[in-house]
């Protein structure tokens, strides 16, 4: 599943980054790495942006960006 499918409060472990090279590099620079835990903190009313927590800091990502992050859900 991709990160955009997680609901507010759900967490997942990053399995793969399937984004264009420039976006992939940007996500890696922000700490979204394979194996990292990522939790959805909030979603804007229209679904864009999505606020997530990764490595103990909050990050707001566009819907297009979170669709390229493949995660496995963790309870």
pLDDT in tens, 14-47: 999 988 888 889 888 888 889 999 999 999 888 7
pLDDT in tens, 44-57: 888 789 999 998 88
- Which residues, at least 6 apart from 27, have a Cβ–Cβ distance to it below 8 Å? 17, 19, 65, 68, 69
The CATH fold of domain 3-74: SH3 type barrels. (2.30.30)
**What is the pTM assigned to this prediction?**
0.80
Q: Is the dihedral of CA 72, 67, 16, 56 positive or negative?
A: negative
Q: Could you tell me the residue ranges of all domains in the chain? A: 3-74
């Amino acid at each position: 599943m991709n990160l955009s499918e997680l609901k507010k409060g759900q967490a997942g472990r990053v399995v793969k980054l399937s984004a264009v090279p420039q976006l992939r590099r940007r996500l890696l620079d922000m700490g979204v790495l394979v194996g990292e835990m990522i939790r959805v903190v909030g979603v804007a009313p229209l679904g864009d942006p999505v606020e997530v927590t990764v490595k103990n800091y909050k990050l707001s990502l566009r819907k297009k960006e979170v669709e390229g992050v493949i995660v496995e859900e963790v309870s």
